[in-house]
Amino acid sequence: MRQGLIIKNTGNNSWVRFPDGAVEMCKIRGNFRLKGIKSTNPVVVGDWVEVDSSNFITEIRDRKNCLVRRSTNLSRQIHIIAANIDIALLVVTLKKPAVSTVFIDRFIASAEAFGVPVALVFNKIDLLENADFEYLDTIINLYKSIGYECLKCSATGSMANARLAHANDVGIENVKKLINGKTALLSGNSGVGKSTIINALSQNEVARTAQISEYHQKGMHTTTFSEIFCVDNQTFIIDTPGIKGFGTVDMQENEVGHFFREIFAASKHCRYPSCTHRNEPNCAVIQAISDKKIAQSRYQSYLSILEDVKQGKYR
């Protein structure tokens, strides 16, 4: 029996990297799905598994964490994006495409719920004008004040484009330092430059890239499944398919505020322990919003998740 790391998974076929660096395709035994695993994908990238002499995966080692989202097709099942993540980097862009703060907050809340540390990487800063930088600094100051590390980045990919050449992959070294010796997951909307960042970090064209659709100002899906790339023997990057929305899962109404750090901190001073911070009297969260200690955008994201939970969308 051998132990290895799942580096790519496409249905029943999984590619496993063993300690000697060898990568072999392995399969899941037919009865594996009957062991009470309620996700659409029982074996995921980042899993450490036991493999028998016939290259069948027989066991998944205990996960320290995972990142989960609602299945797009089966609302009562979950889709595990990856497991055993040291840090999740959410790649965000203000232009081409413009990423909403609601998306950012939903991702962060889900990561908090499953014990995954998060940092924000603001990519494509070479596309920004002066007024855009003011808005960018406002957003960065918001998330830094909550406790999330934020990096500015301009991963340009090919330097053949002279207009972008001055950027010279600004910020890539800072990203590299942040993930050194870690298993880092990269996530974000399609077109934000995840694959380009991976290529810049690894200094190899390992991940496919595509141009932004000028008509829709959105990215085209170039990654169709999660996959691990090795930067070095201790540093791994999990590339994930671009996602349009982020459906939170397994949250109860009284738990949602726990995954918004500043709301949770303020809630300790609410009059009622079961306060949902909507319209209850003596609500410390509502007072903190009035005092501009909690951003209105974060509160609106909180309310949007509460509404989803109330409607039972993600149970």
pLDDT tens digits for range 42-74? 899 999 999 999 999 999 999 999 998 765 554
End residue of a domain, out of 239, 274, 296: 239
Find the mean pLDDT for residues 274-281.
94
* Tokens linked to 272: 């009622």
Same structural domain for residues 231 and 116?
yes
**CATH number of the domain that residue 297 is part of:** 1.10.40.50
Same structural domain for residues 281 and 150?
no
Q: Assess if residue 247 is contained within a domain.
A: no
Please, what is the average pLDDT of the chain?
A: 84
Q: Assess if residue 162 is contained within a domain.
A: yes
Q: Assess if residue 90 is contained within a domain.
A: yes
Find the mean pLDDT for residues 263-285.
95
**CATH number of the domain that residue 47 is part of:** 2.40.50.140
pLDDT at site 103: 93
Q: The whole model's pTM is what?
A: 0.85
Output DSSP code: residue 63: P
pLDDT at site 233: 82
Nearest to 248 by CA among 305, 310, 287: 305
Residue 235 has pLDDT above 90, yes or no: yes
Amino acid at 84: N
What is the domain range of residue 280? 256-310
Which of these ranges, 112-116, 184-188, 223-227, 288-292, has the smallest mean pLDDT?
Answer: 223-227
Same structural domain for residues 55 and 87?
no
Q: Assess if residue 69 is contained within a domain.
A: no
> Measured between alpha carbons, how far is 67 from 115 in angstroms, rounded to an integer?
8
Find the mean pLDDT for residues 145-173.
69
pLDDT at site 56: 93
For residue 232, give Cα distances in angstroms to 50, 88, 265.
23, 18, 39
* Tokens linked to 36: 């009470």
Q: Assess if residue 315 is contained within a domain.
A: no
| Backbone Cα Rg of the chain | 21
Same structural domain for residues 235 and 121?
yes
> Measured between alpha carbons, how far is 203 from 175 in angstroms, rounded to an integer?
13
Q: Assess if residue 250 is contained within a domain.
A: no
pLDDT band at 18 (very low <50, low <70, confident <90, very high): very high
* Tokens linked to 266: 């303020």
Q: Assess if residue 212 is contained within a domain.
A: yes
Same structural domain for residues 93 and 205?
yes
Torsion 257-240-134-300 (CA) sign: negative
pLDDT at site 240: 86
For residue 159, give Cα distances in angstroms to 68, 80, 191, 194, 206.
36, 35, 18, 17, 16
pLDDT at site 245: 56
Same structural domain for residues 151 and 219?
yes
Torsion 64-65-66-68 (CA) sign: positive
Same structural domain for residues 42 and 164?
no
- Interacting residues of 288 by C-beta distance below 8 A, sequence separation 6+: 262, 266, 294
Which residue in this structure is represented by tokens 């962060």? 108
pLDDT at site 195: 87
- H helices present in the chain, as ranges: 101-113, 130-146, 162-165, 172-179, 194-202, 261-267, 284-290, 296-310
Number of domains in the chain: 3
Same structural domain for residues 113 and 216?
yes
Same structural domain for residues 123 and 232?
yes
- Higher-pLDDT residue of 310 and 8 is 8
Find the mean pLDDT for residues 65-84.
76
Same structural domain for residues 119 and 225?
yes
pLDDT at site 70: 67
pLDDT at site 95: 93
Number of other CB atoms surrounding residue 228 within 10 Å: 21
Where residue 310 falls (left for φ over 0; alpha for ψ -120 to 50; beta otherwise) is: alpha
Same structural domain for residues 16 and 118?
no
pLDDT band at 165 (very low <50, low <70, confident <90, very high): very low
pLDDT band at 108 (very low <50, low <70, confident <90, very high): very high
pLDDT band at 206 (very low <50, low <70, confident <90, very high): low
Amino acid at 141: N
Q: Assess if residue 71 is contained within a domain.
A: no
Same structural domain for residues 229 and 88?
yes
Residue 217 has pLDDT above 70, yes or no: no
Residue 76 has pLDDT above 70, yes or no: no
**CATH number of the domain that residue 168 is part of:** 3.40.50.300
pLDDT at site 31: 61
